[in-house]
Amino acid sequence: MNRFINLVFFLSVSLSSCLFPGTASVKLRRNYYHKTCPNVENIVTAAVTKKFQQTFVTAPATIRLFFHDCFALGCDASIMIASSDGSKAEKDHPDNLSLAGDGFDTVIKAKEAVDAVPSCRNKVSCADILAMATRDVIALAGGPSYEVELGRLDGLSSTAGSVDGKLPQPFFNLNQLNSLFAANGLTQKNMIALSAAHTIGFSHCSKFANRIHNFSRETAVDPALNQGYAAQLRGMCPKNVDTRIAIDMDPKTPRKFDNVYFLNLKKGKGLFSSDQVLFHDPRSKPTVNTWANDSHAFKRAFIAAITKLGRVGVKTGKNGNIRRNCAAFN
């Protein structure tokens, strides 16, 4: 029976890899470092916990860093590379300039902790450290804990141009969201689950200013937005506000990773149009309603989605290596 189950799993994974070349789940496995650095997960967790205790921003910053990394060139830590005089790296693309420095610092600190163990030095990739750190901050913020598949190598390329058209925008409708996620082998259900990462973190006012100041010729405020919430947003983000001003994305529980994100959508309190559309579009509304009422179902779906995200564009063999410094190529 076990042999049959293993065969079915292998075939399903192989089929997935063929249909979605961005995924490479067959090349990843749990306990990948059990021989080379057996205590790596505990080392990373300790470093991430220390950073989290210093600032809560560690959590949303690390999650967002992981997502932006995976959706551009795959989950290969190419987002970590610093630009050089002759080349503008991924992290300096306009869509990545708002990534909080605490996310980068979390990976760097965890890498230093791992490499401080002589037997682990230069044995663990930055890409895997980012994946583990993401799992850890989600749990630290009150979200679900899950096993992380490992075995990614670090990418050998990082260009700003590779980010063009690869990341969801705050004004996207459901078709645009589904199309972008499908290009990475992710379903609508996966997309809705991952969107709930907006349950923590913050956004700069410029990302949603059009919804509260100049939505259309007929109305200044997006009618899909809760009017009381819109008034609060206008107070916090007046016209011509300093672009550095940022507000919580979840007005109810901004420091807890939970399903309140979906409850907010039902009340018209999705900060971005791309959030609120998940409730207003009849194709996604049933899922929002289900997860608003069942936090356990949401957590199971989120684990499945972020595990699948972690398989996107994985580098192995000659297509990658293990960086000595996460911010620079070897």
Binding-site residues sit at 69, 74, 76, 78, 90, 168, 198-199, 250, 253, 258
Q: Read off the pLDDT of residues 133-142 as tens digits, 9 standing for 90 and up.
A: 999 999 999 9
Q: Do β-strands 246-248 and 320-321 pair in parallel, antiparallel, or remain unpaired?
A: unpaired
Q: Read off the pLDDT of residues 210-244 as tens digits, 9 standing for 90 and up.
A: 999 999 999 999 999 999 999 999 999 999 888 78
Confidence of residue 309 (pLDDT cuts 50, 70, 90): very high
Give pLDDT, residue 121: 98
Q: Which fold has domain 174-310?
A: Peroxidase; domain 2 (1.10.420)
Percent with pLDDT over 90 in the chain: 89
Residue 176 scores a pLDDT above 90: yes
Buried (b) or exposed (e) across 184-193, using 16+ Cβ within 10 A? bbbebebbbb
**Helix, strand, coil fractions of the chain, as percent rounded to 5:** 55, 5, 40
**Residue 299, both tokens:** 């957590």
pTM, rounded to two decimals = 0.91
**Architecture (CATH level 2) of domain 39-163:** Orthogonal Bundle (1.10)
Q: What value does the mean pLDDT take over residues 124-131?
A: 98
Q: How many CA atoms lie within 13 A of 46 on its CB side?
A: 9
Q: 3-class DSSP state for residue 61?
A: helix
Catalytic residues, by residue number, are: 68
Confidence of residue 9 (pLDDT cuts 50, 70, 90): very low
Residue 51 scores a pLDDT above 90: yes
Sign of CA dihedral 320, 304, 110, 103: positive
Percent with pLDDT over 70 in the chain: 92
Each domain of the chain, given as residue ranges in start order, spans 39-163, 174-310
Residue 3 scores a pLDDT above 90: no
Return the H-helix or E-strand segment holding 130. Answer: helix 126-140
Binding-site residues for heme b sit at 198
Give pLDDT, residue 24: 46
Q: Read off the pLDDT of residues 231-285 as tens digits, 9 standing for 90 and up.
A: 999 999 999 888 789 999 999 999 999 999 999 999 999 999 999 999 999 999 9
Residue 4 scores a pLDDT above 60: no
Binding-site residues for substrate sit at 168
Q: What value does the mean pLDDT take over residues 126-150?
A: 98
Buried (b) or exposed (e) across 119-131, using 16+ Cβ within 10 A? ebeeebbbbbbbb
Give pLDDT, residue 10: 40
Give pLDDT, residue 85: 84
Give pLDDT, residue 2: 46
The whole-angstrom separation of Cα 288 and Cα 259 is: 10
